[in-house]
Amino acid sequence: MGNEQQIAAIFTRIQEMLQSMKFGTITLVIQDGKVIQLEKNEKIRIK
């Protein structure tokens, strides 16, 4: 997979994560200048 394809795949995954959560954080883990992991920490607000 080429570098541009990898970047597009990462952005697609981030968009999917953003659409599926209301509150929380998304963390990108970088190693040697490349994204190696995406972490999603979702918060649920109790009113």
* Helix and strand element counts for the chain (H, E): 1, 2
At residue 19, the pLDDT reads 95
pLDDT digits (tens, 9 = 90+) for 3-34: 899 999 999 999 999 999 999 999 999 999 99
Tell me the pTM: 0.79
At residue 24, the pLDDT reads 95
Question: What are 5's two structure tokens?
Answer: 């394809």
At residue 3, the pLDDT reads 85
Q: What's the rounded Cα separation, in Å, for the pair 26 and 4?
A: 21
Alpha helices in the chain (DSSP H): 3-19
Query: In the chain, what is the straight-line distance between the N-terminal and C-terminal CA atoms, in Å?
Result: 45
Domain count, the chain: 1
The boundaries of the domain holding residue 36 are 3-43
At residue 20, the pLDDT reads 93
